[in-house]
């Protein structure tokens, strides 16, 4: 059996250099004569800015320059771009407030950057930043989602005349109203999808440089989409031709969506480098990440699920108020809309769906894509409703799911998406079996004898592979006998290098040690959609597969010439072109070298190189899905929740590398568990961030986590792409929150507790138990 092939659990090749400390992150980069930057940030959530006195800072040792909004305007920099093409927005459109790299008139969230100090050392820059004096006139802050659209609530952007950014609707409102009116039962739930901080291991960081000879601005960035950064920087902000901006991305210590966007700091280091004539580096302190990096989720939703007398779902109505923060981030408009409705209703047959969203501004950090970006919100919504509907109607939640599962394909959902294939019931059956759900009753009794409450929660989630629909791959056969694999996507820990090499190894028989992975530089890679939406394997992997086929096609023509045989007599297998029925053949790398040697004498029709490049474009979506089963034990005396068992069975179509796919699921599940039990960004009524460090913002630790059992169901391969894959990167974060909350609520059902909002911290659970009658009700 071929080693390093598709389907094998190959350990990540990139890990060797990471484990040896040979990775190169932004903070590892040392450019000649490099200066350092620090930012002055507003301590107020909402304040008019008067005079900015930089005189003391400029006079401090090592300070090279202090920049304010006046310098941004003088340089002619444009306002930050925001995607506004969202189908379903009403006739008022999307209100986009101007946002510049440094704010000049009004600070609109704690952490809003007001000035930038450039100095010889990071310490000097920070000390000087503390010496900048800003005249703030504090104004009332708006932080409460429930009252943000009230007439008495102050406006965050007075020019917009409202705190509403836009209103979105999709679906059959009249049909849903009719179905709800005729329903035998309607389950209603108002709930919060809590605000979370992405919190990658590596905080954001960037280095600006300026090549005076080329008149080119250069950005080294801990990012996720170099071409997206370049396009927005060149077209909208710096207003220069594309070739005048270069974006380079080294290794990245996690992104989770948050590093996809244009940030003030990225813009300012480039401007500063040009103004001071030296490279300028900025590395975020952890507190700065909390204060200025985008947050995720933060929805207030009321949803209704209608059932007929037999328990069939007949309609779903969803009304969401989505927090956008103080400004509209790069892709913020699509998260609660386009990225959410595509999976609305989950795995269930629901004839009528109506979905409305009011996106609103508050005096908080802007919201944008965080792992799952809309689909976890949809999954949490429907999976909580299904469990609550079962509770209210006296039905078993697993049986209610089975009864309403989609079971014929292709299936057109109420909002228009077409699911090509799935095995929802088979995946559920497998998950329950692996988890030993039949033994739960016995385990519950054992918990009761110890004074504990045990619950079992199930989440049958639906995902959609989104992100940029097209990308390319190039295989370049080099003079030194190696092959350069060039793609437009970036890796931030997903194992792309290994997975892509597995495809090459399987298709072309090339040893992975002979393949060089090249990405993350807009001067080297011609285009690319970065990553996001779990797109990389489906889109870039398919491009790589088709490129490999092109290499073989070229190789057959070339081998026929070199081996003096007819093209029809050449076959390719195990990395070698051979003449059928003979022992004559030539290896693919040997053939590439031979073509280089005889390039000047090749006849017409024979390729001079095996190097090839292909673009692949997604024509239809794929639908990853799966089941999370969570088992918990709750201590009624303390409200502490202990996850005693956790099982995941996923349908990702064809699995290229089970080890990497499993790692993605587990990482995502941990983030989902964190959101469900621990994590919650919190502001007080004045807009002050109360969770600005890991002392206050509780991340999951090893002691909080169970051993996760993981298996795959590959019984429903997709035809949406030539690899047959469905995407895995965000699935764990989609399935985990409802499974955990369903489990905790199941433990508390004997007390009549039907719902608790995330995060289910011990104090929240304890309060709910006391409100329901205390420990006695649990006995």
Distance CA 162, CA 150 (A): 10
Residue 598 near residue 711, CB atoms below 8 Å? no
Distance of CA 203 to the CA centre of its chain: 16
Number of other residues whose CB lies within 10 A of the CB of residue 440 = 18
388 φ, ψ (degrees, to nearest 5):
-70, -40
Residue 610 near residue 595, CB atoms below 8 Å? yes
Tokens of 698: 């509780």
- Look at residue 396 and give its three-state secondary structure: coil
**H or E stretch covering 267:** helix 264-276
Number of other residues whose CB lies within 10 A of the CB of residue 429 = 17
Tokens of 596: 């280089």
Residue 607 near residue 616, CB atoms below 8 Å? no
Residue 94 near residue 333, CB atoms below 8 Å? yes
Tokens of 64: 């090279």
Is the pTM here over 0.75, yes or no? Answer: yes
- Look at residue 144 and give its three-state secondary structure: coil
Predicted pLDDT at 778: 46
Using CA atoms, how far residue 577 sits from 216, 427, 581, in Å, is 45, 42, 12
Distance CA 327, CA 157 (A): 9
Tokens of 699: 């991340």
- Look at residue 192 and give its three-state secondary structure: strand
Residue 141 near residue 687, CB atoms below 8 Å? yes
Residue 654 near residue 716, CB atoms below 8 Å? no
Kindly write down the DSSP assignment for every residue of 292-361, as one continuous string.
Answer: HS-BB--EEEEEEEEE-TTS-EEEEEEEEEEE--SS--TTGGGTTTHHHHTTTTTTB--SEEEEEEEEE-
Distance CA 590, CA 579 (A): 15
Bridge partners, residue 37, by sequence: 118
Between strands 299-307 and 185-193, the pairing is antiparallel
Cis preceding-peptide flag for 561 (omega within 30 of 0): no
Between strands 411-412 and 483-487, the pairing is unpaired
Number of other residues whose CB lies within 10 A of the CB of residue 104 = 14
Predicted pLDDT at 9: 93
Residue 211 near residue 523, CB atoms below 8 Å? no
Distance CA 591, CA 594 (A): 5
**pLDDT below 50 — which residues of the chain?**
1, 776-779
Tokens of 553: 């096609």
**H or E stretch covering 229:** helix 226-232
Predicted pLDDT at 1: 46
Distance CA 477, CA 311 (A): 61
Q: Which of 35, 495, 538 is nearest to 276 (CA)?
A: 35
Distance CA 36, CA 44 (A): 25
Q: How many Å is the maximal CA-CA distance in the chain?
A: 91
Distance CA 308, CA 575 (A): 60
Residue 668 near residue 730, CB atoms below 8 Å? yes
Number of other residues whose CB lies within 10 A of the CB of residue 190 = 12
Tokens of 495: 């194992």
Predicted pLDDT at 777: 47
Distance CA 589, CA 701 (A): 47
Using CA atoms, how far residue 348 sits from 314, 382, 389, 404, 564, in Å, is 10, 9, 14, 5, 60
Predicted pLDDT at 2: 59
Tokens of 680: 């919650």
Q: Which of 581, 779, 593, 763 is nearest to 682 (CA)?
A: 763
Residues in contact with 352: Cβ distance below 8 Å, sequence separation at least 6, in sequence order: 171, 172, 175, 176, 178, 179, 314, 315, 316, 414
Predicted pLDDT at 775: 52
Residues in contact with 173: Cβ distance below 8 Å, sequence separation at least 6, in sequence order: 354
Residues in contact with 388: Cβ distance below 8 Å, sequence separation at least 6, in sequence order: 187, 189, 754, 755
Predicted pLDDT at 572: 97
Number of other residues whose CB lies within 10 A of the CB of residue 691 = 18
Between strands 585-587 and 576-579, the pairing is antiparallel
Using CA atoms, how far residue 303 sits from 316, 395, 627, in Å, is 7, 20, 22
Tokens of 54: 């930089």
Tell me the pLDDT tens digit for each residue of 21-60.
Answer: 999 999 999 999 999 999 999 999 999 999 999 999 999 9
Distance CA 622, CA 602 (A): 44
Give the Cα-Cα-Cα angle 67, 68, 70 (nearest 5 degrees): 115
């Amino acid at each position: 059996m071929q080693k390093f092939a598709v389907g094998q659990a190959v350990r990540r090749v990139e890990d060797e250099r990471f484990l040896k400390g040979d990775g190169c992150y932004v903070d590892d980069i040392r450019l000649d004569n490099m200066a350092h930057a620090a930012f002055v940030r507003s301590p107020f959530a909402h304040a008019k800015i008067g005079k900015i006195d930089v005189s003391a800072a400029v006079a401090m040792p090592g300070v090279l320059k202090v920049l304010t909004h006046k310098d941004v305007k003088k340089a002619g920099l444009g306002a930050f771009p925001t995607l506004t093409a969202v189908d379903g927005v009403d006739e008022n459109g999307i209100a986009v407030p101007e946002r510049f790299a440094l704010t000049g008139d009004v600070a609109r969230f704690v952490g809003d950057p007001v000035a930038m100090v450039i100095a010889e050392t990071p310490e000097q820059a920070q000390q000087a930043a503390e010496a900048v004096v800003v005249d703030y006139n504090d104004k009332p802050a708006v932080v409460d989602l429930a009252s943000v659209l009230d007439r008495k609530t102050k406006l965050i952007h007075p020019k917009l005349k409202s705190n509403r950014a836009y209103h979105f609707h999709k679906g059959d409102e009249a049909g849903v109203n009719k179905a709800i009116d005729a329903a035998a039962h309607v389950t209603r739930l108002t709930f919060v999808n809590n605000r979370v901080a992405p919190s990658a291991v590596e905080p954001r960081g960037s280095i600006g440089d300026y090549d005076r000879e080329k008149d080119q601005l250069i950005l080294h960035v801990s990012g996720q989409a170099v071409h997206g950064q370049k396009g927005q920087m060149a077209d909208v902000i710096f207003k220069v031709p594309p070739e005048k901006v270069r974006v380079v991305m080294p290794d990245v210590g996690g992104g989770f969506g948050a590093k996809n966007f244009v940030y003030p700091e990225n813009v300012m280091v480039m401007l500063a480098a040009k103004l001071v004539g030296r490279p300028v580096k900025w590395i975020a302190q952890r507190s700065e990440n909390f204060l200025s990096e985008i947050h995720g989720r933060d929805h207030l939703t009321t949803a209704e699920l209608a059932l007929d007398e037999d328990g069939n779902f007949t309609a779903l109505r969803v009304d969401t108020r989505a927090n956008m923060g103080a400004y509209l981030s790069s892709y913020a408009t699509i998260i609660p809309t386009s990225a959410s409705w595509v999976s609305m209703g989950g795995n269930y047959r629901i004839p009528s769906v109506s979905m409305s969203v009011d996106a609103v501004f508050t005096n908080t950090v802007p919201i944008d894509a965080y792992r799952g970006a809309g689909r976890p919100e949809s999954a949490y919504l429907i999976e909580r409703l299904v469990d609550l509907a079962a509770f209210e109607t006296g039905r078993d939640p697993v049986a209610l799911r089975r009864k309403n599962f989609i079971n014929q394909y292709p299936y057109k959902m109420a909002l228009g998406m077409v699911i090509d294939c799935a095995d929802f019931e088979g995946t559920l059956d497998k998950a329950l079996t692996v988890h030993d759900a039949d033994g739960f009753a016995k385990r519950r009794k054992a918990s009761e004898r110890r004074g504990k409450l045990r619950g079992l929660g199930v989440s049958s989630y639906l995902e959609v592979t989104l992100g940029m629909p097209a990308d390319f791959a190039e295989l370049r056969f080099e003079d030194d006998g190696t092959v350069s694999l060039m793609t437009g996507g970036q890796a931030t820990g997903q194992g792309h290098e290994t997975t892509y090499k597995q495809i090459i190894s399987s298709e072309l028989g090339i040893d992975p040690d002979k393949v060089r992975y090249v990405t993350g530089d807009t001067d080297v890679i011609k285009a690319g959609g970065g990553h996001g939406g779990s797109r990389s394997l489906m889109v870039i992997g398919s491009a790589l597969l088709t490129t490999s086929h092109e290499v073989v096609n070229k190789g057959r023509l070339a081998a026929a010439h070199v081996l003096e045989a007819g093209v029809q007599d050449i076959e390719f297998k195990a990395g070698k072109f051979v003449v059928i029925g003979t022992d004559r053949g030539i290896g693919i790398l040997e053939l590439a070298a031979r073509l280089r040697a005889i390039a000047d004498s090749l006849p017409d029709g024979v390729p001079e190189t095996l190097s090839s490049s292909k673009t692949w474009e997604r024509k239809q979506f794929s639908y990853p899905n799966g089941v999370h089963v969570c088992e918990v034990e709750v201590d009624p005396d303390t409200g502490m929740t202990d996850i005693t068992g956790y099982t995941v069975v996923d349908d990702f179509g064809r699995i290229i590398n089970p080890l990497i796919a499993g790692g993605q699921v587990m990482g995502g599940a941990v983030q989902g568990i964190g959101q469900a039990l621990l994590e919650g960004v919190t502001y007080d009524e004045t807009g002050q961030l109360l969770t600005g460090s890991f002392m206050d913002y509780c991340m999951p630790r090893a002691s909080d986590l169970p051993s996760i059992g993981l298996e795959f169901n590959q019984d429903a391969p997709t035809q949406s792409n030539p690899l047959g894959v469905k995407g895995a990167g965000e699935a764990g974060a989609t399935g985990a929150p409802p499974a955990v909350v369903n489990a905790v609520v199941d433990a508390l059902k004997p007390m009549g507790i039907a719902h608790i909002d995330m995060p289910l911290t011990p104090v929240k659970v304890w309060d709910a138990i006391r409100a329901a009658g205390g420990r006695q009700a649990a006995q």
